[in-house]
Amino acid sequence: MNDFEEYIRQGEPQKKEKGYAWQTAIGLQAVDDLKPSEYLIQTARQHIEGDITIEEAKQLIDSYYQSKTVRANIEDRTEEADKVSARIAEILSEKTFTFSPVEYITIHRRLFQGIYKFAGKVRDYNITKKEWVLKGETVLYASADSIRETLDFDFMQEKNFSYKDLNINDAIIHIAKFISGIWQIHAFGEGNTRTTAVFAIKYLRTFGFDISNEAFANHSWYFRNALVRANYNNLSKGIYATTEYIEAFFRNLILSEHNELKNRVMLVQESSVQGVQSANTTKEISPKCNICTLNCTLEEMAVLNFLREQPKATQKEIAAHIGKSERTVKTITVNLTEKGIIERKNGKRNGFWEVKTNNLNS
């Protein structure tokens, strides 16, 4: 996934944002063992450079596949990979989002319209899927009769949940539980993991995070297998559902930790002593991030991530970024200062914020 590294590491902010969107969009195709074409890569570069709009990029891809010659020489699902990649890049570039089951279903429709006949439609039949990580077994997905009600319930529970004053560890555990829960419903016949990933990125941004998406771009297959392991029980073989793997993924995504994301460690092994890990289990995790964030809230983490990128940001700019009032931002910066995580340097007018490193973790 180095096709757009030059833009991400050295490019202008707008090119960096587009580069991340395309890198993530292409990386997510790996969940279904799909690989976009070189034409898609070239088109993406044109968009990143500003030569064409995202709408023009999508039109170029559509026109490319209208050629019978192209259709005859390209594997069927490469067309899917290209079109869905462009659509994911478009959605990730948009600043709009509504937290609701309708938004979730709409994302599926936008990604797969013209590719699947059931795009944007909740499945009306039951499904099973053989999983490599389960050695051919399947997760028990929601029954067709209960999908919409289950979706509505999960979204309502999350909407009513308060992250206020919740430390970042517990917040990540809760997010892992919610995301793995809506994935387990498997509302659609195909495309559930890509839809869930796009939704998760958009949702996490509402907390004020500038999600780099690197974990999704480079470890989308791990993401899917982690969701599988979060929803599979086989008590007769001593195998229990565990969110530890999806938590590690989100810790990398949110805290910029460097937990090793290896698919082979998730492969189920029969054991009579394998422990249970769930979203309600307290688990010690060695922090690998650059700053001591174990007692930070999601709002505080959003501020910290922003100050790392913009140390000279004003409280007004911080407030606009995380979607909170300036009074709230002032409270957050005071709390972070008291915790010794940030320090104001060179005074109020011409100063900047220094994010402290934790000597124990550096």
- For residues 181 and 116, what is the distance between their CA atoms, to the nearest angstrom? 24
- For residues 159 and 360, what is the distance between their CA atoms, to the nearest angstrom? 36
CATH of domain 296-353: 1.10.10.10
Structure tokens at 87: 């659509």
Report pLDDT for 70. 58
Which residue spans within 82-193 are E strands per DSSP? none
Sequence-ordered list of residues with C-beta below 8 angstroms from that of 104, at least 6 positions apart, any chain: 151, 155, 182, 187, 195, 199
Per-residue pLDDT tens listing for the chain (362 residues): 567 877 777 768 888 889 889 999 999 999 999 999 999 999 999 999 999 999 999 999 999 998 756 555 555 789 999 999 999 999 999 989 999 999 999 999 999 999 999 999 999 999 999 999 999 999 999 999 999 999 999 999 999 999 888 888 999 999 999 999 999 999 999 999 999 999 999 999 888 876 666 788 889 999 999 999 999 999 888 899 999 999 999 998 888 888 999 999 999 986 534 443 444 443 444 444 444 555 778 788 788 878 887 888 888 888 887 777 888 888 888 888 888 888 888 877 778 888 886 533 33
Report pLDDT for 306. 81
C-beta of residue 244 within 8 angstroms of C-beta of residue 284: no
Sequence-ordered list of residues with C-beta below 8 angstroms from that of 31, at least 6 positions apart, any chain: 193, 194, 197, 220, 221, 223, 224
Burial (CB < 10 A; 0-12, 13-18, 19+), residue 85, is: buried
Class for the domain spanning 94-268: mainly alpha
**287 membership: H or E segment, kind and range:** none
Structure tokens at 245: 């793997």
CATH 1.10.3290.10 in the chain: give the residue spans: 94-268
CATH 1.10.10.10 in the chain: give the residue spans: 296-353
- For residues 38 and 329, what is the distance between their CA atoms, to the nearest angstrom? 45
- For residues 74 and 91, what is the distance between their CA atoms, to the nearest angstrom? 26
